[in-house]
Amino acid sequence: MNFTVHVEGGCADGPISPVRTLVLTGELDHGSAPLLQKALEGAYADQCRHLIIDVTGLAFCDSTGISVFLGARRALAAREGNVALAGLNARVQRTFRLTGVADAFSTYSTADEARAALSAS
């Protein structure tokens, strides 16, 4: 299964949304993690403070993907920002629980819920 990252929103100062959303589909593993890392590096370069990672379409995530998520969390915490996960399905949620990082992220049913929460902060 292929892996894709679709970027929504911007983070530059001005009228652009202060929250960037990354919509993931497919399988996130050792081979596809660099695609996510590249999208995250773009968010860091644009000075994003808040990120939503919409995993509704994510069929699989291994420990490499979890590591990338944790790296994003650390990077945004350094600028007093947040990473929120939206749309965790049972399979991906189980991976987060088994690796002990389920409580490290704020989770929301949808990206819209996450956007509302992050925009208010």
Query: What H or E segment, with its residue span, contains residue 3?
Result: strand 3-8
Give mean pLDDT, residues 83-108. 92
6 forms bridges with which residues in the sheet? 23
Which helix H or strand E contains 21, and what residues bound it?
strand 19-28
pLDDT higher than threshold 60 for residue 16: no
Count of CB atoms situated within 10 Å of the CB of 94: 13
Q: What was the pLDDT predicted at 17?
A: 60
Half-sphere exposure of 65 (CA within 13 A, CB side): 23
User: The whole model's pTM is what?
Assistant: 0.91
Q: Does residue 54 carry a pLDDT above 90?
A: yes
Residue 61 corresponds to which tokens in the numbers above?
Answer: 């995530």
Distances from the Cα of 81 to the Cαs of 69, 76, 111, in angstroms? 14, 5, 17
In angstroms, the CA 99 to CA 40 distance is 22
In percent, the amount of the chain with pLDDT more than 70 equals 93
Question: Residue 12: what pLDDT?
Answer: 58
Mean pLDDT of 35-61: 93
Give the mean model confidence (pLDDT) for residues 102-111.
Answer: 93
